[in-house]
């Protein structure tokens, strides 16, 4: 015997259908905005790549090529076609995973990016972890001990981190810790004697060497990454400590903190449970932006330490007029930045019910 359908059941079913429609529309809108953003990024980078005063044809045929060889290479590269047609063909190829050939390495650009991007990812991840583990507690303590010695130290760290150029700090670090004290290994990602000893699975030498049980490779890779990660981590510490301190000072001046203290709650609970709990969501955005900056802004550090990441690859491509590599690298960095922002928005909805 079937259960009779009541009006309340119909209302619940209708509400569920409306919720499904709303969710579907939201997903479609999100996908549309993502596609428009990526297309706009592609268009901007492509137009800039075509309008900069660099002739990619000369990079192929050389300065002494004849006019006929120059014209043939220009046709082969598709540069004789209108700009809109060139862009359409470029987007079509990228949708099929074809970023073009690198003039510098004579390899597909996508293969080059797969080879160099994990090195940047490893360096940026370790630097961000250093910034979070040191910068966030330092900012909280500085806000709690406002205008005391620890607060002055935190502000000094933030000031120096915002003022000193990263390449100068990297050079001084190499001079002191590598050349003088011999505490760390020099430039590069690994000593040549250890090349090829570990199979690449994750792209991270530290993780891959641990999985393989090659501890000599692990400690050698750790010795190489320690100094550049510390340099970039210091800038993360400076920025995160400053932002955390500002957020905490704002929350500690609120009335609910005074009420919590008046009720006799433990100071540690007031600080970490109530005040820090309210800054966790905006702080998450700051951490994500810091990570994005390290992924796209570690070019100088990679050059100073000869780190084989996407920053060094992009710099070499620019110096050699390798526009396919430049456009491909810029696109990957931009998509990574967009993805981190979307992830941050999703985490906002998870940790803050008001954002839902």
Q: Supply the pLDDT for residue 240.
A: 93
Both tokens of 47, joined, read 């137009």
* Ramachandran bin of 165, using left for φ above 0, alpha for ψ from -120 to 50, beta for the remaining angles: beta
How far is C-alpha 280 from the chain's CA centre? Answer: 20
Phi then psi for residue 108, to 5 deg, are -60, 135
Q: Supply the pLDDT for residue 16.
A: 54
pTM above 0.95, yes or no: no
Tell me which residue of 232, 204, 235 sits closest to 301, measured CA to CA: 232
Which residues are paired to 108 by β-bridges?
101
The three-class DSSP label of residue 352 is coil
Q: Supply the pLDDT for residue 336.
A: 84
Domains and CATH numbers, the chain: 112-355 (1.10.3720.10)
User: How far apart, in whole angstroms, are the C-alpha atoms of residue 257 and residue 280?
Assistant: 16
- Can you give the pLDDT of all 356 residues of the chain as single tens digits? 455 555 555 555 555 566 676 777 777 887 888 788 888 888 887 887 777 777 777 766 777 777 787 788 778 777 778 888 888 888 888 888 888 888 778 888 888 988 888 899 999 999 999 999 999 999 999 999 988 998 898 899 888 888 888 888 888 999 999 888 888 888 888 888 888 788 888 888 888 888 888 889 899 999 999 999 999 999 899 999 999 999 999 988 888 888 888 888 888 888 888 888 888 888 888 898 888 888 876 778 888 888 888 888 888 888 877 888 888 888 888 888 888 877 877 777 776 666 55
User: How far apart, in whole angstroms, are the C-alpha atoms of residue 283 and residue 287?
Assistant: 6
User: How far apart, in whole angstroms, are the C-alpha atoms of residue 76 and residue 196?
Assistant: 37
User: How far apart, in whole angstroms, are the C-alpha atoms of residue 173 and residue 226?
Assistant: 11
Both tokens of 161, joined, read 């981190």
Q: Supply the pLDDT for residue 1.
A: 47
């Amino acid at each position: 015997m079937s259960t009779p359908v009541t009006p309340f059941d119909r209302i619940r079913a209708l509400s569920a259908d409306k919720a499904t429609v709303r969710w579907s529309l939201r997903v479609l809108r999100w996908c549309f905005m993502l596609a428009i953003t990526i297309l706009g990024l592609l268009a901007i980078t492509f137009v800039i790549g075509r309008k900069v005063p660099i002739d990619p044809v000369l990079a192929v045929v050389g300065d002494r090529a004849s006019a006929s060889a120059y014209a043939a290479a220009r046709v082969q590269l598709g540069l004789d076609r209108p700009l809109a047609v060139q862009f359409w063909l470029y987007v079509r190829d990228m949708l099929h995973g074809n970023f073009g050939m690198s003039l510098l390495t004579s390899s597909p650009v996508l293969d080059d990016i797969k080879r160099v991007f994990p090195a940047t990812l490893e360096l940026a991840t370790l630097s961000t972890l250093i910034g979070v583990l040191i910068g966030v507690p330092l900012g909280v303590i500085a806000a709690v001990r406002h205008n005391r010695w620890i607060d002055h130290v935190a502000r000094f760290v933030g000031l120096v981190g915002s003022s000193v150029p990263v390449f100068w700090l990297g050079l001084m670090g190499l001079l002191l810790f590598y050349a003088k004290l011999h505490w760390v290994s020099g430039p590069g990602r690994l000593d040549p004697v250890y090349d090829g000893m570990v199979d690449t699975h994750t792209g991270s030498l530290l993780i891959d060497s641990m999985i393989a049980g090659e501890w000599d490779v692990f400690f050698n890779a750790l010795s190489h990454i320690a100094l550049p990660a510390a340099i970039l981590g210091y800038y993360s510490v400076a920025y995160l400590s400053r932002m955390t301190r500002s957020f905490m000072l704002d929350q500690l001046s609120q009335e609910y903190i005074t009420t919590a203290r008046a009720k006799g709650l433990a100071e540690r609970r007031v600080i970490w449970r109530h005040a820090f709990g309210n800054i966790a969501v905006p702080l998450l955005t700051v951490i994500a932006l810091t990570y994005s900056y390290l992924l796209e802004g570690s070019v100088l550090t990679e050059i100073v330490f000869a780190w084989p990441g996407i920053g060094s690859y992009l710099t070499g491509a620019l110096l050699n007029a390798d526009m396919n590599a430049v456009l491909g690298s810029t696109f990957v960095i931009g998509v990574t930045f967009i993805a981190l922002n979307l992830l941050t928005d999703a985490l906002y909805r998870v940790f803050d019910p008001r954002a839902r």
